[in-house]
Chains A and B, each alone.
Chain A
Amino acid sequence: MSTVKGEMIKGNEAIAEAAIRAGARFYAGYPITPSSEIMEYMSWRLKEVGGAFVQAESEIAGINMIIGSAACGVRSITASSGPGISLKQEGMTTLSDEELPAVVVNVVRYGNGIGTLLSAQCDYHRETRGGGNGDYRCIVLCPASVQEAADLTVEAFDLAEKYRMVSVLMTEGALGQMMEPCVLPEMQAPKRFEWGFDGKYTNKKIGIFDRDSMKEAVALNAKYNKVKETEQRWEAQHIEDADYVFVAYGMPGRATIGAVEQLRAEGHKVGYIRPITAWPFPEKAFEQVNPDVKGYISIEANATGQLVDDIALTVMRQGKKKGSDCSGGSCPAPVYCNPHVYGVPSTKAIMEDYAKVLSGEMKEVY
């Protein structure tokens, strides 16, 4: 991330242009701050490349249009934020049910209900657990720079099609609105997937009342397990000898890297894991952590602490793997949570969090 290359571009526009270059030829959605630039960019850019753009009457209609175009084998993308993504849940579970690939960009803003316009990470639980009805998963990618946002947009399409799933690009208001140098991906020729509708009934389907839901559910779960096994992505440093390991993604993840570098320079044995996939959660990163680590610290931009749950689950699982038994004295490492509510925590704030953990002022949550 430190190498400066490419032209200055706004995060949201980098995502839109990367989608075009990845071969996306359909966009439908409804504007909402702080995601609107993606839609505005698509409105003229898709026309230029011979794609289709629809300003839908609502996010519900927008995601259902994505279903229509994805069903025809076209690379399709929509973007929104907060309550707009709530409305898209109906379509995301339907896409998952039909095993149609699509990319949904959530430029996360803070708050319940209508919410605010502030950059945040409050939608972690919804995106990683699946916010619609049913029993499905989406691949969730979390960029920490404009460059990574552009790169992960292409990857989001590739993964969505590889597994016939929905990919969520879970970015943040701050990242969507800021400009950074970025080398945009290569232009790819658009593809039509052979499983799409052609009007000739080339790909046979059965009706909902004729489906074997038991068989389908088992197959779907096997697919999700394969994604868990093969598609975990993360960035980590200084974890092999760390006393404390920070875990943070997106913009707070980026701020955490700065804090870790500074703490290291001051002689503190700290490291970090920055999840790039929030689902599948990068459990494998934790296998490389110092077995005698004294604790994990989550840094996140929400009030309730959400990422911390996945850290705790992973740590507990690893404790079990190592055969440690709390009753015998050797417990999984404690997990601390630092929810900064919204915005991007400063290096200083993260270092203060660390000092509170060391002094015992901050208690572990798991």
Chain B
Amino acid sequence: MAANANTNTNTSVKTKVNIKPRKVPALIDRPMSFCPGCGHGIIIRLIAECLEELGQDDNVIFGIGVGCSSLLGGGLETDRLHCSHGRAGAVCTAIKRVNPDNVVISYQGDGDAYSIGIGETTSAAYRNERFTTFVVNNTNYGMTGGQMSNTTMPGQKTTTSPDGRDCTTTGMPLRFPELVASQFDAAAYVARGSVSTPANINKTKTYIKKALEAQLSGEGYSVVEILSSCPTNWGMTAPDAMKHLDQAVTPHFPLGEFKTRANEQREVK
């Protein structure tokens, strides 16, 4: 009888406390040194959660870019190669070719993937390499002190465009997901998310998961760009940076899916 009573008590306690424990995925359970209010922490958390939910957190290799993404070098508890600046697309190409059963992810910023690494990033997409690229787009070179990047918005002040970006001499912001979706027919999944609001974060997580699922079933190249805040280099408070992301950045970089997986309906916006 006593044993039964105990069991009952335990059950009732379990029923009462029906809140999921807040568990940090083992992959990222280490201190990271991103600036307060930076979106990187949210994004890597989403990726780690998806990998865990897909049962792939013990079967993953990261190619890490140079820039703020370098901080993952010390933050991740997984196989990872800190690639030379811009080269993660090439490094991950080879990793996936020789280890096709591992999930292979390149994690890069906009400067790494779209400026110095535009050749490697585009060529990997062009060849339809079977890995996944996540690009954190905060419209500037964060690690080196906030210089202009290929995604800096028209008129945006950076340390190398102090009067605001002049697109007549520096070009217009690059929209890589749109390029892949419109030019590379074989690509499996292409989307752009944002970390500006809980709703956008949740939606971004579904994009990340679909990109990884596309890789897992060998459908082809997948890329998700994620718009992220950079309060330090934007000279804003963290909440203001999130507002800015929604109000000023997102109009230049539309959110959504640009290419869905072959068997899925295009997301209704």
Contacts and interface: CB of A to CB of B under 8 A. Distances in A.
Given A199-B61, A207-B73, A26 B103 contact: no
B90 A68 contact: yes
B120 interface: yes
A200 B83 CA distance: 19
A71 B81 contact: yes
B77 interface: yes
B61 A197 contact: yes
A25 B102 contact: no
Nearest to B122: A57
A207 B90 contact: no
B59 A199 contact: yes
A67 B73 CA distance: 16
B74 A206 contact: yes
B119 interface: yes
A347 B58 CA distance: 63
Given A71-B81, A72-B99, A206-B73, 10 more contacts: A28-B94, A57-B120, A61-B87, A67-B91, A68-B93, A71-B91, A94-B84, A198-B102, A199-B103, A207-B75
Given A199-B103, A201-B79, A209-B73, A65 B94 contact: yes
A69 B82 contact: no
B84 A91 contact: yes
A208 B71 CA distance: 8
Interface string A105-143: 000000000000000000000000000000000000000
A52 interface: yes
Interface string A260-302: 0000000000000000000000000000000000000000000
Interface of A is mostly: mixed
A251 interface: no
B92 interface: yes
B82 A68 contact: no
Interface residues of A, number: 38
A65 B58 contact: no
Contacts of B186: none
Sorting the interface of chain B by its residue count into under 10, 10 to 19, 20 to 34 or 35 or more gives 35 or more
Contacts of B101: 199
A170 to B, nearest CB: 23
Contacts of A61: 87, 89-90, 93, 119-120, 123
Contact of B95 (A62, A68, A203, A205): A68
Interface of A: 25-26, 28, 52, 54, 56-58, 60-62, 64-69, 71-72, 74, 76, 90-91, 94, 98, 197-203, 205-210
A253 B80 CA distance: 44
21 contacts: A26-B94, A52-B97, A52-B98, A60-B119, A64-B91, A64-B94, A67-B83, A67-B84, A67-B91, A68-B91, A68-B98, A69-B95, A69-B97, A71-B91, A197-B81, A199-B99, A201-B78, A207-B71, A207-B74, A209-B70, A209-B74
Nearest to A62: B90
Nearest to B58: A200
B104 to A, nearest CB: 9
A69 B84 contact: no
